[in-house]
A and B are shown apart, each in its own frame.
Chain A
């Protein structure tokens, strides 16, 4: 068994951009298999080579790199994030009265899409709602919306005298917002209401974006609705998806093969977003070394890659003939820069952990199935 050289490994990992196509996008037909080489998977090896880097960690947006992973695994995380991590969303809508201009079905659909957050304890306690059957306290969250639009007491005066036309200043409840939903706890849900929480809001269920507009009303119009929110997954309906988006991109790699000096260098820098390429003056040493390509260019600027990660795929430099053969653009195949935007139920970082849990469950399920198969 021969082991490939580092250069060979790097070459294998390199996804190269050309003007019209992308080369070496995937592994071979049998990923990770090369004749005469041992690439058998092994946990220790994986543990040694696998790295995680964090780039951005905010509550609901985070970005990090997973290095040393294969695409199917990274993709599995992404897919699970989008479609299989459960959250709650409004599923059943019972309309007692809706005299707004929005039709019942449309209103119901809009309500379904409102992202709600419930306290983690309550969320963990909740079970899946059966497809059919009675809603129970352990699988259903009841949210009521009761809005009456009417004139403010001084509204009519304002309209006539001040010429006020902004409906929000004239009528009470001219706009119906997500915050108008009221959580109606039942039976065993009661304790969760009283449980102390760090937000200082008594309700354990609340919309992530209280200012989300649901409908507009005019005096005399009424919305009286009872809704049931349940646990569900994004594969069933996008409203259950816990993330706004979860995706990854590969780590960019820019190789400057031949030096780019002078005016070309600044043009080269302009081909990329700011910060990707920086310009450095040729040092005296470099200029004096006759073998160096910088010979005789002292003081002139030359291009160096400053931060490849910022590079999108403009490929602008491939358009200009002066850079042909001087630069090689590409990505690193096993370096995944994840970006996860959460809709609120989980923080972005937790979301990935949740995804990992789901993946683990799935693996166990598969394992069980395989074991059963062997019997």
Chain B
């Protein structure tokens, strides 16, 4: 079920291993599996990048109920960073104006059907839902 990961980019290998096992056991199709992996990597790397001093490990949980896949990620020692309030990335900008910043969260929004954010007492909780078509 849920698993905790050290706040380090190098944890991604272990995270992909966990997600590989979970997506198989939940019988997710290739497209949904791709979306789950991308959403978790993008959010995890943001948690590491923007909260390097946090001491808590990061919790990841992936569950399925009928045709909904729910991802929950919790950082229990964090500063507020509301991913649902970020401005949209201009995906029509010319090449020389393109910047990668914000692209990851943009992709999460595109890939997931629901994105919610909670912050209380230094605890960030992000919940994503994808409807399996």
Say whether A and B bind each other: no
Report B's interface with A, CB cutoff 8 A: none
